[in-house]
Amino acid sequence: MRSKLFVPGARPELFAKALASEADALSIDLEDAVPESGKAAARAAVRDFLASEAAQRSGKTIIVRVNALGSAHFEADVQAVVGPALAMINLPKPESGADVRAAAAALAHAQALAGSTHDIRLLANIETPRALRNAVEIAAAHERVWGLQLGLGDLFEPYGIARRSPANVHAVMFQVAMAAAEAGVAACDGAFADIQDEAGLRAEAGMSRALGFVGKSCIHPRQIAVLNEIYQPAAAELDHARRIVAAAGAAEAAGRGAFVVDGKMIDAPFLARAKRLLSLHPDKT
């Protein structure tokens, strides 16, 4: 999921354009992008879109960011979006494992009511100080959790923390990456709001990719190509990973725990990295 394009739930005229884009995933927003007066209409529009043949056949990962747990809209949002095209619910502002488990229970209830049996996962946002402190607990709270998503706007802006400071951004990215790694889930980078600043987007995406993040959110279609480029491993990197996996089988059969590939000593951590890379990009193997 190299690129994840945000689409306002109140703008159904954009849904087809988003499907036609080169983004790996769509994240339809029922939370911040929809004013209170438009919540019900947006919810209905997203429900109809998820039931459409176009959405079901698109091949894209379709995610819906619902309103926060405990809001007046959370349960109605979840019940509306459990259609067959939905891959994940993006959960805003969870602050504990209990929050994640409550969301998972609500999702299970909504699926039972709808007669839905397909696998719907949770992408939990890390966007408050308490959530950052509890990131491992949130990531490991339930088997439905697919990954953690970083939300730097909510995490930084209310507290006067400089959003464009590379040191600040790296510190939080590293903490989220380690939490996701401990729980065995993915880490996804959040949006970069300055649409005109491609150099800034590239720098921030490059930083998160170097920390193991699988992709990044985008708020405008012009950001998609940049993110697809940055988070897509080079052919040589994928070829090297395939050679590591192949050589590991031969080494195991010979009773060796370490072996050499392309002039480099390889043991268990490097094998794990190669397998992870190939699992994230199976269409390239």
Query: pLDDT (tens digit, 9 = 90+) per residue, 5-23?
Result: 999 999 999 999 999 999 9
Residue 150, strand partner residues: 126
The pLDDT of residue 272 is above 60 = yes
Q: pLDDT category, 283, cuts 50, 70, 90?
A: low
Tell me the C-alpha distance between 259 and 27, whole Å.
42
- 3-231 CATH fold: TIM Barrel (3.20.20)
* Type and span of the H or E element at 86: strand 86-91
The pLDDT of residue 239 is above 50 = yes
Structural domain boundaries in the chain: 3-231, 235-284
Of 127, 138, 71, 61, the C-alpha closest to 99 is 138
DSSP 8-state class, residue 283: G
Kindly report the pTM of this predicted structure: 0.89
pLDDT at 184: 94
Query: pLDDT (tens digit, 9 = 90+) per residue, 38-93?
Result: 999 999 999 999 999 999 999 899 999 999 999 999 999 999 999 889 999 999 99
Angle formed by the axes of helices 224-231 and 198-210, to 10°? 30
Average pLDDT over residues 97-102: 98
